[in-house]
Amino acid sequence: MQDSARPANPRVIITRELADANQHRMSELFDAVLNHTDTAFSREDLIAAMADCDVLVPTVTDQIDAEMIANAPDRLRMIASFGAGVDHIDLAAARAKKILVTNTPGVFTEDTADMTMALILSAPRRLSEGEKLIQSGQWEGWKPSGMLGHCIGGKKLGIVGMGRIGQAVARRASGFGMSIVYHNRRQLPPAVEESLRASYVADLEDLVRECDIITLHCPHTAETHEMINAERISKMKSSCYLINTARGDLVDENALIEALQNENIGGAGLDVYQNEPDIDPRFLKLKNTILLPHMGSATFEGREAAGERVITNIRVWADGHRPPDQVLDGWV
């Protein structure tokens, strides 16, 4: 029987433009309000949308705080987020208001791992610098001392956060002959470690000191906020490269920029930043840093798959069942 609190044809507001196939399907199944201009919602836009829908479909760049949720009308019953991360939503406030929150976990695992591996290769080998040299028209031809970088075969890779993406990166890095260690809240079972050829490091300080390349793959929480700070950066090898395709707030950017400016570490490959899209302009002047515009999961296939998961979560909820990707923090 249809739950009276769950409309059979819910009004769904989507904050950004999604894949055509996803938007077409949403329009068939729901009273969908699409964003054809793909203009980012302001805080005021989000508040207005939350007052006018049964289900809000935000993305990871839409900040939905406790005040917005507390003041939302009772009509809003579900926030079906497009993306795996949920740090942009105040989950405690949503739980208090009995608003279900869903996400799309696992969809972008392989895409993000691919991009991470691209940065692991590109930063030590100075690919971005090489491209800029060609484009400048100042390349004078090959020479033994030209554009020297570091090989990655035999180097030690430290993975911070060994969830789906961290493990996918480990599988790729192993194929390049890298030695893999990892730090995680919990050690993986021995069989999984063996399959990944990865060794557990219980103390993050030890991992920071011993690795040639460090890559971040943990969520942003109060505990992980700026976990890569000035103290830990100071313990890195002078030839170490930091890779971040997870969340910008995992890194103290001021400390990182200072270390890169002074060449205290080898370099960095970044796809995420603390104040996106307003990147600290000091990054733009660094030669030892590769900067990408948060495109780790940007594939046609991944985006459409995420949209399909959003649709499934809404449809299952509207049919009176628990959505498969409900974020259960605090609910069970």
Q: Tens of pLDDT along 205-215?
A: 999 999 999 99
- Alpha helical stretches, state H, 262-330: 300-318
**pLDDT(330) > 80:** no
Domains 11-107+299-318 and 109-291 share a fold: yes
Burial class (CB within 10 angstroms; exposed 0-12, middle 13-18, buried 19+) of 123 = buried
Q: Can you name the residues that pair with 200 across neighbouring β-strands?
A: 182
Please compute the mean of the pLDDT values over residues 305-316 and round it to a whole number.
98
At the topology level, CATH places domain 11-107+299-318 in: Rossmann fold (3.40.50)
Residue 133 DSSP SS3: helix
Q: How confident is the model at residue 2 (pLDDT cuts 50, 70, 90)?
A: very low
Residue 190 DSSP SS3: helix
**pLDDT(174) > 80:** yes
Taking a C-beta distance cutoff of 8 angstroms, is the pair 89, 83 a contact?
no
Write the Ramachandran bin of 161: left for phi over 0, alpha for psi from -120 to 50, otherwise beta: left
**Catalytic annotation, residues:** 247, 276, 294
* Domains of the chain by residue range: 11-107+299-318, 109-291
* Cα dihedral across residues 45, 51, 57, 62: positive or negative: positive
Please compute the mean of the pLDDT values over residues 93-118 and round it to a whole number.
96
**pLDDT(44) > 60:** yes
Q: Tens of pLDDT along 135-168?
A: 999 999 999 999 999 999 999 999 999 999 999 9
Rounded to whole angstroms, the Cα distance separating 3 from 153 reads: 58
At the topology level, CATH places domain 109-291 in: Rossmann fold (3.40.50)
**pLDDT(332) > 70:** no
Would you say how long the chain is, in residues? Answer: 332
pTM of the complete model: 0.91
Inter-CA distances, 96 with 47, 138, 242, 322, Å: 18, 61, 38, 18
